[in-house]
Structure 1
């Protein structure tokens, strides 16, 4: 409006002003708008991640297209006060631009740099018109353009410098990029851990090993896309993390989420390829290291990641998702709309072994079916079923996180199981997420064993309630609490049941020191470990430093 008032003496002035303003409004996005590209980079879990790449979408204007007639603009009407000026721009100077959806957005505000960018673009268009036709501008129009060039000479020079620097940076990135299709993401963490308690929970009479350890785990993740809609994901892992389980505390209930040990070697931890089929189907092919927790919603995403999620193995998600963990197979997800999805999956942990009792269909396996409902952004619920089988020496019915009896209710006897789970997540206010699950497993002995008959049944139950605070401050600090009962055998035809009940208490607070660096103290307490009230409580303390890059 300032320039409109300044040049309102003649209709030509209005046209010239419309040229500059139209070009300016349409060539630069307003910060924070849908076209500004202002969203930060995100890591695979959704938290803010630093980037050394320049956000080109924040430095360059949105794609524009030439409009040959004002009637092509969907948001400009003949009754608008600037309609005649815009019409003249299209007819006289061929200098009217619009967004690809044919919107003009003529009421947007602008800065001097944005005005300079629009002016530069319009001048180029006019110069192009003169060069093509040999025509000349009328004296008064030319005089105004020269005045504008002089007025905004410093801004135009700065703009040219920024564009030149951007081109140099872009050329450098293109020449030295890691890959045209692959993004490299890194995770590393140091863990200071220790157990505290009296006797181990395995009736050995031995004391809990209270030595403090300093461990690490690091992952390099290669995210590759060939079409922009697919994803080939590869994990390289190196770790030396103590297992605070049987040998240390006498129970798997104290195992931590990140207790992987590669003895310092780099191994291929996981590889899968995910791609869409049509608008509603997604296919996930796991070559190695597959897990249902990575393929379908667990409704506990805040706690699910191994390095940045829950402190304990149990606190990550319902143990039902641990069936088939580390396997190869296929998962299909059908989403007719944003409110519902149906998933079917199959994983075989020994798929690469051709010997008898192994392979894709002759050894351990897990088959999953899940229906997920999302009636709103703040409420989700899922119902899950998994069928699993394992030969006697490889049985771990509860994913190696409950009591010894809950993992092998029939000892080293081939066991099949039907697992049922219900999971939910509810947003409370703007800063809390309440979640939880309940899991029921019906195990069956598939062979004879010591004191076990083929067909004997066992019932195993677990539950948990979680509370997450994802954003405690403007740095992205967070906290989490987990309360629950690890898997417990409540009935067993083939032997003993767990007589008492264990309770799992867990809490952690992550302070975000800087983007990509956080320090997190946490604790884990197991009351009545191994579901035995005669066992003393066992405590685990942990201090981890997390690096994301």
Structure 2
């Protein structure tokens, strides 16, 4: 076959080739033709006819003989065979398409539902107009607004404060408001600008049992947080805080009950291990994942980073530095190993826990510079979808760096705290959360500062709450805190504090 097109359509072929023509075979790859080379001028055309359409045949000896002359009859026969092959491919590819009867049925249905189609067309036009209006008047293509408002009704039902005075049972009604502007420029980064205010006051005569949402700004709104988080590669995340940074911005607190005051535990102690609180201010934090089983967090935040005065600034003033490893040996088990080094040279710096006994917070009470080294271990184990067990234990060594002109001696305090937490996700309804916390807020167990001594007894922190999710934007959380031997002093009557927290999120 001189043209080499599909066999079976050969006519008027020279007698010398008739025997060979009967044995022509269809080829599926141009490489099966030994005398066809990629450098041949028609190679691409031949390859397309062979591999795309399957309408080229070779001689029994595996050749194509592309330079042999052919007759017009041969050309007509070969072209016809190739077109037949193309028609077969078209028929096979369209076998499942609509028939004329199908098209008639579709036309009849279109006429029957003409009114509904017109209504739908009108709705689509209206949606397009509204979408165009929103796009033209949108606040930002990169920023979204998130809000959170807390209303809280709180009262002490019984007990005494740290100094043996009866707690006021006068109910209070307070609030906390946060407005977050979340901005992303690449889809993987986030610039957070938080405006906040509140009027929820702490009980100055009792540090234990402090509420997680306490924020007394007399409802004067201002900038609380300004930070930027961005990725470095696929496993590293960097957070740069210009104001209001905290340890949980770059490190896990390893506690299923941590809702930062708006959800979860109602107390500051129940929200997270007190070791995290001294790390606050402006600075940088880094989180790096070593696969799925190990995570490292490092951070340094300064309390007076914006002040050029002596004893302030990024490195000459108060600071908190954190290093943490989170190990995940099992799918639902997280174990945190945390170290914090902190320094405070003013009473407003968060170099201490802000919870526990007055003695464990002596630096802020006496306005004396201190340096603390804290070590902690945290655990969270989700045993099932509806039960999480967790807790922590921590030790702090606190050394004062001044005698206040001889008023106190130089020395150190040993401070311990621990807790066991039980969480019950989706309790009674999806989105709900029940929680129980049993622990000991920071307590001084040993002191080398003459005249300071140690906390005489042990106070237990007992807390229970039930967060009921009315809908995705509203939750109500009744909770109670029971403190035995307030201020770690059994001479003080047990204190019971109750609150009803309502959280609006939008």
Fold agreement, TM-score > 0.5: yes
Counterpart of 1:516 in structure 2 is 473
1:396 Cα deviation after fit:
5.4
Does the alignment pair 1:478 with 2:439?
no
1:166 Cα deviation after fit:
4.2
Counterpart of 1:535 in structure 2 is 492
* Higher Cα Rg, which structure: 2
Q: Closer, same or farther in 2 for the Cα pair 1:375/1:91, shift >3 Å? A: same
Among 229, 252, 257, the alignment partner of 1:274 is: 229
1:342 Cα deviation after fit:
0.8
Q: Does the CA contact (< 8 Å) of 1:289 and 1:328 recur in 2?
A: yes
Matches within 5 A, 1:261-300: 261-300=216-255
Q: Closer, same or farther in 2 for the Cα pair 1:371/1:158, shift >3 Å? A: farther
Q: Does the CA contact (< 8 Å) of 2:195 and 2:223 recur in 1?
A: yes
Does the alignment pair 1:464 with 2:419?
yes
Q: Does the CA contact (< 8 Å) of 2:277 and 2:350 recur in 1?
A: no
Post-superposition CA distance 1:56-112 (Å, at most 9, x none): xxxxxxxxxxxxxxx9xxxxxxxxxxxxxxx7599669xx9xxxxxxxxxxxxxxxx
Post-superposition CA distance 1:40-66 (Å, at most 9, x none): xxxxxxxxxxxxxxxxxxxxxxxxxxx
Q: Closer, same or farther in 2 for the Cα pair 1:184/1:522, shift >3 Å? A: same
Q: What's the secondary structure of 2:427's corresponding residue?
A: coil
Does the alignment pair 1:419 with 2:380?
no
- TM-score (normalizing by structure 1): 0.70
Q: What's the secondary structure of 2:166's corresponding residue?
A: coil
1:448 Cα deviation after fit:
2.7
Does the alignment pair 1:173 with 2:126?
no
Q: Closer, same or farther in 2 for the Cα pair 1:144/1:304, shift >3 Å? A: closer
* Distance in 2 (alpha carbons) for counterparts of 1:492 and 1:510: 40
Q: What's the secondary structure of 1:400's corresponding residue?
A: coil
Q: Does the CA contact (< 8 Å) of 1:398 and 1:487 recur in 2?
A: no
- TM-score (normalizing by structure 2): 0.76
1:169 Cα deviation after fit:
4.0
Structure 1 stretches lacking a partner, 5+ long = 1-70, 72-86, 97-121, 123-139
Structure 2 stretches lacking a partner, 5+ long = 1-50, 52-88
Does the alignment pair 1:386 with 2:340?
yes
Q: Closer, same or farther in 2 for the Cα pair 1:219/1:345, shift >3 Å? A: same
Q: Closer, same or farther in 2 for the Cα pair 1:496/1:394, shift >3 Å? A: farther
* Distance in 2 (alpha carbons) for counterparts of 1:89 and 1:176: 53
Q: How many residues align?
A: 416
Among 196, 209, 234, the alignment partner of 2:157 is: 196
1:461 Cα deviation after fit:
0.5
Post-superposition CA distance 1:213-232 (Å, at most 9, x none): 11111111111101000001
Q: Closer, same or farther in 2 for the Cα pair 1:352/1:472, shift >3 Å? A: same
Q: Does the CA contact (< 8 Å) of 2:264 and 2:467 recur in 1?
A: no
Q: Closer, same or farther in 2 for the Cα pair 1:375/1:172, shift >3 Å? A: farther
* Distance in 1 (alpha carbons) for counterparts of 2:335 and 2:123: 49
* Distance in 1 (alpha carbons) for counterparts of 2:183 and 2:92: 44
Q: Closer, same or farther in 2 for the Cα pair 1:198/1:315, shift >3 Å? A: closer
Q: Does the CA contact (< 8 Å) of 2:159 and 2:496 recur in 1?
A: no
